[in-house]
Structure 1
Amino acid sequence: MLFYTTSILVLIIDQLSKYMVRSTLDVGETVYIGTTQLTHYENSGMAFSLFQGYARLFALVAILFVVGILYYRMHEAPKGKLLNTALGFLVGGAAGNAIDRIIFGRVTDFLVSRSGKGILNFADHAINVGIVLLLMHGIVQYVVGKWGKREAK
């Protein structure tokens, strides 16, 4: 249940925020909410605006990723809240950007990084959180495995 709740919440927050940006800001327009800079940007490529014009291809990759995770979940039933949360963030983020790529042929970005060197959206941040949680899960599994081997000796 945690996986589905996380995925759906990420997807809803991502799509609502992108809708609000598209409906209130022109492309290239910037506003500030406190110290947070929002700039409406449309990206038809992937991270760091690489491979512009291949949005539909990246949508297919995202769909295959989501299907792969769902297949894994159906056959392996991942254990643990951390892993299920990580997969939920990854699937919600991938689905959010895939929807943009399919419907609009590009992804709406608007969250300007503090360094000013990138513009992301909530789906991108969710994918980053999912990766960090997945790494944390791997570290925990490794440590638990090491401790288990010591206890068995």
Structure 2
Amino acid sequence: MSNVSTNTGIARWLGIAAILIILDQITKIAITSTFVYGEAMPVTPFFNLVLVYNKGAAFSFLASETGWQRHFFTVIGIGASAFIIYLLKKNQGQRLLSWALTLILGGAIGNVIDRILYGHVIDFLDVYIGNWHWPAFNIADSAICIGAVLFVYDELKRSKKPASGT
């Protein structure tokens, strides 16, 4: 009976990650079908939709390298995803931690799919103030960031709890 509830619990988190991956990929397909590379459409005084490609990692880290980074970040993304699935299976009863891991997992896989299919990550969300633009990002990046914040919050929350038995 324990294995049934364990499998159902992990399936729920993997299902949420799958929905996130689908949402990420649909938005990327919509943007690439609507925009040409570099095209921007103002939405608000601080937000544009724009089609850009990121061959690097977060904030275009290593984007100007010769191409080896595509394979490097793909392997890291796959390895991180496998480790996150292990952590989800091990900690699925911890709701906040599971949400954090699920968001990071969905985002990581969404960006790995881009690297495998296109050799770069498709970014399209452009937030700015005046002439200063935050690096463009996507749904997967947003999920990773939200998941990371939840992860840190969960860790801080747990570290403040007194140890049991003392």
TM-score bucket of the superposed structures, by smaller chain: 0.7 to 0.9
Aligned-pair CA distance for 1:78: 3.5
Aligned-pair CA distance for 1:34: 4.1
Partner residue of 1:126 out of 134, 143, 157:
143
Partner residue of 1:69 out of 61, 80, 84:
84
Aligned-pair CA distance for 1:55: 1.6
Alignment of 1:61-140 (within 5 A): 61-74=76-89, 76-115=90-129, 116-140=133-157
- Which letter does structure 1 place at the counterpart of 2:88? R
Moved more, 26-35 or 101-110: 26-35
- Which residue of structure 2 lines up, in the alignment, with residue 29 of structure 1? 39
Q: Normalized against structure 2, the TM-score is what? A: 0.81
The CA RMSD over aligned residues, in Å, is: 1.7
- In the alignment, the residues of structure 2 paired with residue 70 and residue 5 of structure 1 have an alpha-carbon distance, to the nearest angstrom, of 12
- Which residue of structure 1 lines up, in the alignment, with residue 5 of structure 2? none
Partner residue of 2:53 out of 35, 39, 42:
42
Q: Normalized against structure 1, the TM-score is what? A: 0.88
CA deviation vs aligned residue, 1:44-93 (integer Å, no higher than 9, x gap): 1112212123122201100000011112334x234321011101000000
Structure 1: 5+ residue runs without aligned partners? none
SS state of the match for residue 113, structure 1?
strand
Aligned length: 148
- Which letter does structure 2 place at the counterpart of 1:65? A
Q: Do 2:91 and 2:97's aligned partners in 1 also have CA atoms closer than 8 Å? A: no
Q: Do 1:6 and 1:85's aligned partners in 2 also have CA atoms closer than 8 Å? A: no
Moved more, 88-97 or 107-116: 107-116
- In the alignment, the residues of structure 1 paired with residue 80 and residue 134 of structure 2 have an alpha-carbon distance, to the nearest angstrom, of 27
Structure 2: 5+ residue runs without aligned partners? 1-8
